[in-house]
Structure 1
Amino acid sequence: MRTPVPHPARRTEVLAACAAGATVVLWASAFVSIRSAGAAYSPGALALGRLLAGALTLGVICLLRREGLPPRPARRGILISGVLWFGFYMVALNWGEQLVDAGTAALVVNTGPILIALLGARLLGDSVPPRLLAGMAVSFAGAVTVGLSMSGGGESSVLGVVLCLLAAVAYAGGVVAQKPALGAASPLQVTTYGCLVGAVACLPFAGRLVEEAADAPVSATLDMVYLGVFPTALAFTTWAYALARTTASRMGATTYAVPALVVLMSWLALGEVPGPLTLVGGALCLAGVAVSRSRSGAAARAAAPPGAREETARESGRGPVVRTRARSGRRP
């Protein structure tokens, strides 16, 4: 019996899905660390410290791998994503979460994947298949449920809501700007130089960072370093790897799993026991991601190599696929 050989396209799809999964888990853990470090660091100082730790980590990796400067065609996208996503997004999100409850922040920021789908379809020509739309709708309903269940007394700062909305817009714009850059540069180059751009944009907060680091407890500083090394350096690189191999819309929909994982991590790390409504919302988030990343049977068969389609046909009882020559006036 012949052992089937994995098709390169299928292998790439699996690796991209694993990279996206690693990104989602690490980004979910960032919410717990931000909450801890945010008690000692202001939003701008925390963003700068996180970006400096991430840039240092990525710089060492680039030196070891002998990665050079990104090609000229990729620099515009790296610059835009660095300012929007690495810089503005982190400051706005840190600030917004200090003014609104976690449920409201999660609900507002999770409009980002919808904006990514709209911008991707408009600017990148991404297709938005029905399964992706259905999955996004289910996940967004789950995010709303989690947000409502985690809201405290229902009182929210208008400024905090606006900041979270601006963070979502910056996140979507950064992803859409990053996608074309990945066609010319490696994921490591795009992430490293995007992180450097974000750090430069946050340099006005350097004085605050130095002052607050002198008084901050060691645990808060370690949380900031963790944010830079793992949810920034590692997670943004795995994100870029996965984004280079799929559409911006599909990657954006994957991040809907973050609220569900944040609920689980808060339960384990902070002792915050989620209620039944929160668990239902988390399940909806995960179900929506599964639907958005799935493909129809016809699409899966079309993407499969010819040998795999023949093997599938034999296993399903339809018999082998026989190729015949068109008859002509001569015998072969």
Structure 2
Amino acid sequence: MTSTQWRAFAAAATTVVLWASAFVSIRSAGADYSPGALALGRLLAGALVLGVICAVRREGPPPRAAWPGIAISGLLWFGLYMVVLNWGEQKVDAGTAALVVNVGPLVMALLAGWLLKEGLPPRLLAGMGVSFAGAAVVGLSMSGEGSASVLGVLLCLLAAVSYAGGVVAQKPALRYASALQVTTWGCVIGAVACLPFVGVLVREAAEAPLSATLNMVYLGVFPTALAFTTWAYALARTTAGKMGATTYAVPAIVVLMSWLLLDEVPGWLTMLGGVICLAGVAVSRSRSRTPAREDRTGVTDAPADRADDGVRPAQPRASREP
């Protein structure tokens, strides 16, 4: 594995761990903040941190060619996804939410195979099938009787579809702009889309306990500003399908975090589901013994190190355009 591949793997692992921690913070902050206000507060905190980093690094606005993908991902993933996920988690238990939202990587792989011409490698499909089975086991083991609602399930399904669509839209933008630029402006667009909730946020922030507000800020700084940037960095160096499959490790890590941080001892069925999730991720990320070939999007499974240490993806050459 090359140094660039190791950095991409480390970025993906960072994303998965921080996104797993977000479930704990959302559950805590959601008791005092409504879905729209929590999403807006999280996005404002993330946009502020990312804006400071861009200023320090002197990163200007992204090129014009990157804007369509950034705008769509900002509206779908940073905006719509965060609001409906927060809302959905108030209507269903954590297990049901995790199970329904995990439809997202499957939708992502199908959309990427169709729109981005990534194809559907057998190992990826097999790994996603195994991981989804593990997510189903985790979800069913954590679901409480009568705790789910039709509205809650529909909201979680909408979150899954908007998440998948946002990632697929983001992938082409990373050919023209850096991971930091794509994440920063996507976060800004998401925050602008959530501005109708500003009055609710101000009112609830005045009444919420400090712990809930700190959880909201944490969501903005780490699972949003940092994790979405590391996600974009890794996404620029692999396919959307493989990145989606990697997120199936989230349920297993959530179970582990709940055990260590919240003293919630998981049952044997929950632990089994977590192990199955991780096994599926390993299968989907494994490589065949044949040499890596360039995919139709211009990204290889084993990209060479870039001159700028991987911060900004190289501009695509005309001869590699489809």
CA drift of 1:14 comes to: 1.4
Determine the structure 2 residue equivalent to 1:70.
62
Matched residue SS, 2:290 = helix
Structure 2: segments with no counterpart, 5+ residues: 295-300, 304-322
Q: Give 2:8's aligned residue.
A: 16
Counterpart residue type for residue 248 of structure 1: A
Equivalent residue letter for 1:251 = M
Is residue 47 of structure 2 the alignment partner of residue 55 of structure 1?
Answer: yes
Q: Please point out which of 188, 201, 214 is paired with 2:180.
A: 188
Task: State the AA in 2 paired with 1:228.
Answer: G
Q: Determine if the alignment matches structure 1 residue 249 to structure 2 residue 235.
A: no
For the 8 Å contact 2:5–2:302, the answer to whether it is kept is: no
Q: Percent identity?
A: 77
The answer to whether the aligner puts 1:233 opposite 2:225 as a matched pair is yes
Aligned to 1:30: 22
- Residue 131 in structure 1 maps to residue 117 in structure 2: no
Q: In structure 2, which of residues 137, 140, 144 is the aligned counterpart of residue 152 of structure 1?
A: 144
Q: 1:304–1:258: structure 2 CA closer, same or farther, 3 Å change rule?
A: closer
* Deviation of the 1:276 alpha carbon: 0.3
Is contact 2:129-2:280 (8 Å) kept? yes
Q: Greater CA deviation, 151-160 or 239-248?
A: 151-160
**1:89 and 2:94 correspond:** no
* 2:157 counterpart of 1:165: yes
Q: Which moved more, 1:273-282 or 1:260-269?
A: 260-269
Amino acid at match of 2:234: A
- 1:304 deviates by 8.2
Match of 2:100 in 1: 108
Q: Give the direction of change, closer, same or farther, for the CA distance of 1:53–1:154 in structure 2 (3 Å limit).
A: same
The whole-number CA distance in structure 2 between the counterparts of 1:122 and 1:300 is: 21
Structure 2 residue corresponding to 1:219, chosen from 205, 211, 231: 211
Tell me how far apart the structure 1 counterparts of residues 100 and 149 of structure 2 sit (CA, whole Å).
13
C-alpha displacement of 1:297: 2.0
Structure 1 residues 68 and 301: CA distance shift in structure 2, 3 A: closer
- 2:298 match: none
Show the counterpart of 1:265.
257
Per-residue deviation at 1:12?
1.5
Which residue is 2:109 aligned to? 117
Aligned to 1:282: 274
The residue aligned with 1:324 is none
For structure 1, list consecutive stretches of 5 or more residues without a partner in the other structure: 1-8, 306-332
C-alpha distance in 2, partners of 1:301/1:75? Answer: 29
CA RMSD across the alignment: 1.5
Partners of 2:147 and 2:254 in 1: how far apart?
A: 22
**2:186 is paired with a residue of what secondary structure?**
helix
Q: Which amino acid is 1:53 matched to?
A: A
Where 1:255 maps in the other structure, the secondary structure is: helix
Question: 2:32 aligns to what SS in structure 1?
Answer: coil
Q: Please state how far the C-alpha of 1:300 moved relative to its aligned partner.
A: 6.3
1:46 Cα deviation (Å)?
0.2
- Poorly superposed stretches of 4+, deviation over 3 Å: 299-305
Q: 1:44 matched to which residue of 2?
A: 36
Q: How far 1:191 moved relative to its partner?
A: 0.1
Higher deviation after alignment, 51-60 or 270-279: 270-279
For residues 106 and 232 of structure 1, what CA distance do their matches in structure 2 show?
A: 18
Displacement, 1:63? 0.1
CA shift at 1:301, angstroms? 11
- With normalisation by structure 2, the TM-score equals 0.90
Does the 8 A contact of 2:135 with 2:273 survive in 1? Answer: yes
What per-residue deviation string (whole Å, max 9, x for no partner) do you get for residues 241-289 of structure 1?
Answer: 0000000000000000001111111112222111000000000000111
Question: Which residue of 2 is the match for residue 294 of structure 1?
Answer: 286
User: How far apart in 1 are the matches of 2:144 and 2:59?
Assistant: 47
- Partner secondary structure for residue 28 of structure 1: helix
1:158/1:267 Cα in 2 relative to 1: closer, same or farther (>3 Å)? Answer: same
Deviations 1:209-230 (A, max 9, x none): 0000001000000000000000
